[in-house]
């Protein structure tokens, strides 16, 4: 269900999920959603058996997980967990001692279930409350 993706070949599918979740559902201004960093990231996509991309996530070169998004009709079915597991596995393989992310506050319990620890105070990003979280690999 989850596979590595490449920005240059999967950009349209990744952008479609980002547009639906972040821009349309969450009203993130379009100018804030797209980043020059995107092509440099390791991307992961969750696909249905017929190839429809229903979830995405990325790992930046500096060990940040981000742009985790699952289409509404596929939420609460393990897609986010599978994407997170893939990102963590990639981070471990790249030799990172841990990862960081900025979680929307409604998603903090999700990340906490997988061992992420909150850091600092709640802050606004694109008008949405977020909390910084970190994860440290136990074998490092």
- pLDDT per position as a tens digit, 43-57: 999 999 999 999 999
Residue with tokens 């349309």, as numbered in its chain: 24
Whole-number Å distance between alpha carbons of 51 and 38:
22
Top pLDDT among 35 and 109 is at 109
Section 71-86 average pLDDT? 97
Q: Which two tokens stand for residue 17?
A: 């999920």
DSSP string across 97-140? SEEEEEEEGGGHHHHHHTT-EEEEEEEEETTEEEEEEEEE-TT-
Q: How many domains does the chain have?
A: 1
H or E element that contains 89 = helix 79-93
pLDDT tens digits for 100-129? 999 999 999 999 999 999 999 999 999 999
Asked whether the predicted pLDDT for residue 140 surpasses 90, the reply is no
Neighbouring C-beta atoms of residue 3, cutoff 10 Å: 12
For the entire predicted model, the pTM comes to: 0.93
CATH of the domain at 51: 3.40.630.30
DSSP string across 98-109? EEEEEEEGGGHH
pLDDT band at 34 (very low <50, low <70, confident <90, very high): confident
Residue 70: which residues within 8 A CB-CB, separation 6 or more?
A: 17, 21, 46, 54, 55, 79, 80, 83
* Domain limits for position 31: 2-136
């Amino acid at each position: 269900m989850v596979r590595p993706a490449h920005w240059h070949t999967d950009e349209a599918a990744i952008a479609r999920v980002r547009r639906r979740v972040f821009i349309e559902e969450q009203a993130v201004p379009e100018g804030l959603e797209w980043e020059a960093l995107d092509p440099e990231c390791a991307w992961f996509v969750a696909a249905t058996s017929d190839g429809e991309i229903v979830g995405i996530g990325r790992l930046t070169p500096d060990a940040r997980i981000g742009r985790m998004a699952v289409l509404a009709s596929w939420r609460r079915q393990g897609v986010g967990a599978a994407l997170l597991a893939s990102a963590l596995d990639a981070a471990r393989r790249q030799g990172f001692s841990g990862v960081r992310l900025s979680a929307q506050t409604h998603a903090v319990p999700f990340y906490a279930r997988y061992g992420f620890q909150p850091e600092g105070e709640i802050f606004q990003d694109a008008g949405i409350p977020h909390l910084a979280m970190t994860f440290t690999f136990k074998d490092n």
